[in-house]
Chains A and B, each alone.
Chain A
Amino acid sequence: MHPAFRLGAWEALGAHTIAMAATFIAFGAAVRASGFGLGWGLASSAGVYGMAGQMVLLGAHPGAGTAAVAGAIMANARFLPMAAALAPLVRGRLAPLCVPFVAITPWAAAMRRLPGLAPPERAPWFLGFALAAWTTGLLTTAFGYGIAGQLSPTVLRLLLMANVLYFALMVTAGLARGGPWRASLAGAAAAPLALLLPAGTPPAWGILGAALIGGTAAFLLRRR
């Protein structure tokens, strides 16, 4: 096993895992509450592997399948620019293996960690981190499914907030050390525009719009 793979897997354990686990436990419980089976929940966590889209797909009941798929694609459309941003960092024969694991937790960690690693170590590190995080997602989906009904609504609601706090801290940490502050601030500033969208518009459209407006503004300001 490549040492960078082991290092990535080791570094995935900690706050990353706890935040992700909390969200996937809540998702597992929601899968059961929505009337889907454990296999469906596991396939969603394994294949969609993006919580916003996974939550949208919980509405994939008879007659709403097409809308749920479209909503999930919108909710996770950020995977495309995320994969494009990651590509130069993991280029090589292992890059195709990285594709299914482009998701917010491994991506955010990779964008902060990979530039500091030697190029040959980057893809193995990413795969180690991503596989550990992905496995955690599957195990905790199953756990959440198993204990659904035993969790109080308050605990479930708190679990859903763990990821929000985790990423709030990640973004803040990036700002504090002079990371991509223009893009983060511009995205945050553009986010309230999403609240102006007509009622009934899927929230994912708002995130996508804010990302395009804020990200492009940050990009243009950087180029000046």
Chain B
Amino acid sequence: MHQGWPPLLAAIAAMLALRGLGMALAWRLPPGHPAITWATAVSEAALAAWVVLALLSPGPWPIPARLAGVAAALIAFFATGQRLLPGMAAGLAAIWLAGQLLG
């Protein structure tokens, strides 16, 4: 067996436990329960934090290129009536272009 398999199998079991535990903890709670509201807020905050850190942390593209990309994506997104694909295409094009300009 390749050395990477035991850690992978352990991680898969842990992921299932995280998901199952979350579902089990909330199983009997009504949708408006404070614990559910808190969990939803933390999850939504995690998504936004992940996006911000993906834009601001050291990464595969210079930070100005990533910011230019997200700006272009937002402009195209709203200019096309909140359509995701044109937004993503404009964003990727802007990242590539800014990356070229920034060397």
Answer yes or no: are A and B bound together in one complex. yes
- Closest chain B CB from A128 CB (angstroms): 18
Interface string of A182-215 (1 = CB under 8 A from B): 1111111011101100000001001110111111
B25 touches A (CB below 8 Å): yes
The interface size bin for chain A is 35 or more
Residue B45 lies at the interface, judged by CB distance under 8 Å to chain A: yes
- Taking a contact as CB atoms under 8 Å apart, the answer to whether B7 and A102 are in contact is no
Instruction: Please measure, in the bound complex, the distance between the C-alpha atom of A66 and the C-alpha atom of B50, giving whole angstroms.
Output: 24
Closest Cβ of chain A to B53, distance in Å, is 5
Per-residue CB contact flags for chain A residues 17-38 toward chain B (1 = under 8 Å, else 0) read 0110000000000000000110
B residues within 8 A CB of A80? Answer: 18-19, 21-22, 25
Decide yes or no: A165 and B88 within 8 Å by CB, A80-B18, A85-B26 being known contacts: yes
Interface residues in B, total, Cβ within 8 A: 71
A119 and B47 alpha carbons, distance in the complex (Å): 25
Question: With contacts defined as CB atoms under 8 Å apart, how many contacts are there between chain A and chain B in the complex?
Answer: 298
Check if A40 sits within 8 Å of B2, measured CB to CB: yes
The closest CB in chain A to the CB of B87 belongs to: A169
Residues of chain A within 8 A of B35, CB atoms compared: 84
Stretch at the interface among A3-11, A45-53, A134-142: A45-53
Q: Determine if B103 is an interface residue (Cβ-Cβ < 8 Å).
A: no
Closest CB in chain A relative to B50 CB, distance in Å: 5
- Beyond A40-B8, A95-B27, 5 additional pairs, beta carbon < 8 A: A161-B95, A165-B87, A187-B48, A219-B42, A222-B41
Q: Chain B: residues with CB nearer than 8 A to chain A? A: 2-12, 14-16, 18-23, 25-27, 29-31, 33-57, 59-61, 66, 69-70, 73-74, 77-78, 82, 84-85, 87-88, 91-92, 95-96, 99
**Which A residues fall within an 8 A CB radius of B?**
14-15, 18-19, 36-37, 40, 43-44, 47-50, 52-53, 57, 60-62, 65-66, 68-69, 72-73, 76-89, 91, 95-96, 98-100, 102, 104, 107-108, 111, 154, 157-158, 160-162, 164-174, 176, 180, 182-188, 190-192, 194-195, 203, 206-208, 210-216, 218-219, 222-223
